[in-house]
Amino acid sequence: MTLRKWLFTMALGATVALGMTAVSAADKESKPLAPSALTFGTLRGMPVEEAKGKVEAYLKAAGKFDQAKVDGIWAQNDHTVLDRTVESIALANPAAKAAIDQARDAAAAPSTEVPAAIKTEKDAFAKTNLSAAFAKGLASKRVYEEALQATKEIVPENLVDPSAFYFFKAVAEHALTKRDDAVLSVIKLLDDVTDSPDRYKMVATLMYFDIQNWSKDPKDLTNIGKLMDNSGRRLDLTRGGTTTQEIQKKIVFRLDEKIKELENKCKGGQCNGGNCPGGGSPGPASGDNPNTPAASSTLPGGGTKDGKVDDKKLRVLAETWGKLPPSERQKAIQEITRDLPAKHKPMIEEYFKSLNRMNGFDK
């Protein structure tokens, strides 16, 4: 079933009024795929006997075949085909299995690179499935960057479980806002894999429609929120290094641009009805002399009492956050969020809370 048919079926079955019009609109937003990507219905989960046969051939070539051990592994019918494949390959490559176990362990420190035992594996079947299992384990722990690194040399035709591979790949790409890559992975899952579980199809469909609603404006608060989510995720993984700091600088810069954009709209008389900074309307207040400069005093967040925000001070604030006393940090947050719509304030506050966590301050 193609993506278009699947989405239509989902809409009817769930009595949700998505309809073919919504799908067509979404199709127009996506970039056309290369002909090589349009291989409908060519992948399926590998049958147990076929996967076991490939494992046995691999072990024999490596000189590590043990019939009793292999039969014992494949007799574990409560284990997935991928798990049994990895456990069998471990008879010849135990280091790769250890790396995958660490990737799956929620309490273990996340990997920072694809292990050598997987990268240097020469057998295409073994390397593909070791990489897929490693990527799946990392993606389950939200270690998305390294999960995607592990997928680069995978040969889809060698996957014993292509549905899980494309699902977790799409999850990682969606989380990292890799729009085109995520759309392609979702389409591969829904169109190319013939036996994807319904749970994967449902979530993949939701991701697909979510991606169609992503704004292309980097200053859009939803996009800024995704950057904040990514920053918070990396901090939760104790990855507060250069990459995280660059993300945080980008957040501050885009917030600054957004604030300037709102201020410029108000200066041009485009905001009214309570949408101006502070909830008022553009122009001088009653009783003010328009020819007299309004008094302004600098506030901790790089703002002033007249509602303007100094972009340089805003960036300095993020860079020197850890040196500010708690009272000054609180004042800074209040000033930065003062002119924003109420629904966006929690997003901004959460970002600065993440700075607190990174610097070991209050949670």
**Per-10-residue mean pLDDT, the chain, length 363:** 48 37 40 42 90 97 96 96 96 95 87 89 96 93 89 92 95 91 93 90 89 82 78 75 79 77 68 47 42 41 44 61 74 67 58 59 50
Residue 167: name the closest of 150, 152, 187 by CA.
Answer: 187
Residue 49: the pLDDT is: 96
Instruction: Check whether residue 126 and residue 231 sit in a common domain.
Output: no
Domain that holds residue 194: 48-212
Q: Is 285 inside any structural domain? A: no
Instruction: Check whether residue 125 and residue 164 sit in a common domain.
Output: yes
Residue 19: the pLDDT is: 35
Instruction: Give the number of other Cβ atoms within 10 Å of residue 13's Cβ.
Output: 8
CA distance 276 to 278: 6
CA distance 321 to 31: 41
Q: Is 78 inside any structural domain? A: yes
Instruction: Check whether residue 194 and residue 101 sit in a common domain.
Output: yes
Residue 95: the pLDDT is: 96
For the purposes of burial, counting CB atoms within 10 Å of the CB of 242, is it exposed (0-12), middle (13-18) or buried (19 or more)? exposed
Residue 73: the pLDDT is: 97
Residue 181: the pLDDT is: 94
At residue 248, what are phi and psi to the nearest 5 degrees? -65, -40
Angle at the Cα of 14 from the Cα atoms of 8 and 19, rounded to 5 degrees: 35
Instruction: Check whether residue 208 and residue 71 sit in a common domain.
Output: yes
CA distance 174 to 95: 30
**What pTM was computed for the model?**
0.61
Instruction: Check whether residue 234 and residue 156 sit in a common domain.
Output: no
At residue 229, what are phi and psi to the nearest 5 degrees? -60, -45
Q: Is 32 inside any structural domain? A: no
Q: Is 287 inside any structural domain? A: no
Instruction: State how many domains the chain has.
Output: 2
Instruction: Give yes or no for a contact between 76 and 138, defined as CB atoms under 8 angstroms apart.
Output: no
Instruction: Check whether residue 52 and residue 182 sit in a common domain.
Output: yes
